[in-house]
Amino acid sequence: MSLIELPKPDESVIARRAEIARDLAALTSPAAVISDEDGRRAFETDALTAYRRLPLAVVLPSSTEEVSRVLKYCHTHGIKVVARGAGTSLCGGALPAEDAVVVGVSKMSRVLDVDYEARWVRVEAGITNLAISGAVGSAGFFYAPDPSSQLACTLAGNLAMNSGGAHCLKYGVTTNNVLGVRMVLMTGEVVDIGGPHLDSEGYDLLALVVGSEGQFGIVTEATVRILRQAEGARPMLLGFESAAKAAICVARIIASGIIPVAIEFMDKPAIEVCEAFAKAGYPLDAEALLIIEVEGSEEEISDRLAYIATIAADLSPTSMTVAESPEQAARIWKGRKSAFGAIGRLADYYCMDGTIPLGSLAHVLQEISAICDRHGLKVANIFHAGDGNLHPLIMYDANTPGETEKAEAAGADILRLCVAVGGCLTGEHGVGIEKRDLMREQFNDEDLAVQVRLKSVFDPGWLLNPAKVFPLDARQAVDRPEPQGSRSVAA
């Protein structure tokens, strides 16, 4: 069971599965369409595996033109569509519906054009995050956003959720690194927004599209910013006797004016699990650990690490270690990047994604522990401390009746806490289905009405990524006719 409600599917659409699959094959190719049950099962969930739904059919187009034909067909026949990259979404953003066609862009992974002087690369949206940096690395460039799943996740999903990563503290999240997109609307119309330049005239539609979670269209190509690789980079480890002291250290580093490339946090449960997995040299006697990386010339790196060490010294760290070799630095980051998988060796987990002001970090960490204790669950905290983007991993057993509901309830309480202290529901994972019913914790009815109307401009039939982002009754509240005698805002 789950606390999250899913709408009942349209059985009349499901009854036409074979016909729809044949039509989609004619629009693309027989090899691009998956309609058998075993084949569809590979697409029944994403990384938020608590929820599963077999899609109506799956189509894997090879070009923008094929995506356009598929969406135009689905629009004409009133068939719902769920866009999918690699399925690494942690909020159920790519969860299918039984009466929806999954349109995956994984076959569209080419590098189309590169301009090193202007510092951009144009790629198809099915390319993996890490492959972008791989394509330009030999010329001394890289693509900055680096989600932990960057080896597998696609740019399409990064664009949908406005993904970040460990190094977003200095370089920003996806929206700060995208210059333009090519997107297919539900009608099949292809539109270009932005382009290979720093800014565009008129309304900032690009900022609207990035983070729209597949609600407006399917992005098939993107032009992204690439940056020169730094001369060097080095991480250091700071161990503390309490999470509160680590949190204070983070706030003081940022307040000092130094912006490291990354400041990552782990509590004791996370330290132990990640050290057992990666053998990175994490301090097992510490209650909390910070991974802080700076970059620049060797002199700059040494000066900044020394200054950070001075800030930390006032908080009596239990350990202070600076990576002495590229191999040691790689092990340190391997532990952090592998953290979710390492926790998964112990238990099922529910990964939250709230963001809070840095000044509330110590208080919120205490409250997270108290919340999970009340629900009878364990938690490990691993997150991007520099920008207050929390990732509590609530551990549970999905095979024990009632445990999933307890994890969901604890997660909801944590997100309510984030909003209550002045933060928000998501930093980089998106809303998806996981946080859909919590949107009213952050937005009032007027706020939601504006968002719903905006969705309706791009997708009047609400066929794209159904039952995500908005509470299920949000559209009905906006569509409901006003009482006689009332006056609209436009009047």
- Residue 295 covered by a domain: yes
Mean pLDDT of 374-378: 97
* pTM of the shown model: 0.92
CATH number, domain of 401, equals 3.30.70.2740
| Lookup result for tokens 């401009």 | 457
The answer to whether 161 and 468 are in contact (CB under 8 A) is no
How far, in Å, CA of 253 to CA of 293, rounded?
12
Does residue 267 register a pLDDT over 90? yes
Q: 404 and 314 in one domain?
A: no
Q: Which domain holds residue 131?
A: 111-228
Does residue 482 register a pLDDT over 70? no
Mean pLDDT of 369-385: 95
**Percentage of residues in the chain having pLDDT higher than 90:** 84
The DSSP output letter for 77 is T
Question: pLDDT-derived band of residue 481, with 50, 70 and 90 as boundaries?
Answer: low
Q: Where among 69, 104, 139 does a domain terminate?
A: 104
How far, in Å, CA of 124 to CA of 215, rounded?
19
Average pLDDT, the chain: 93
What digits encode the pLDDT tens for the residues 225-246?
Answer: 999 999 999 999 999 999 999 9
Q: 247 and 182 in one domain?
A: no
Question: pLDDT-derived band of residue 47, with 50, 70 and 90 as boundaries?
Answer: confident
Q: How many domains does the chain have?
A: 4
The answer to whether 167 and 264 are in contact (CB under 8 A) is no
At position 283, the amino acid (one-letter code) is P
How far, in Å, CA of 209 to CA of 202, rounded?
15
Q: Where among 183, 210, 228 does a domain terminate?
A: 228
What digits encode the pLDDT tens for the residues 441-476?
Answer: 999 999 999 999 999 999 999 999 999 999 999 988
Q: What's the CA dihedral at 444, 446, 452, 456 to 10 degrees?
A: 180
Mean pLDDT of 17-44: 97
- Residue 490 covered by a domain: no
Q: Which residues, in sequence order, are bridge partners of residue 322?
A: 236
Q: Where among 319, 340, 361 does a domain terminate?
A: 340
Q: Which two tokens stand for residue 28?
A: 């693309």
What digits encode the pLDDT tens for the residues 155-206?
Answer: 999 999 999 988 899 999 999 999 999 999 999 999 999 999 877 778 899 9
- What per-residue confidence (pLDDT) applies to 299? 95
The answer to whether 31 and 74 are in contact (CB under 8 A) is no
Q: Mapping DSSP to helix (H, G, I), strand (E, B) and coil, where does residue 149 land?
A: coil
Q: 217 and 115 in one domain?
A: yes
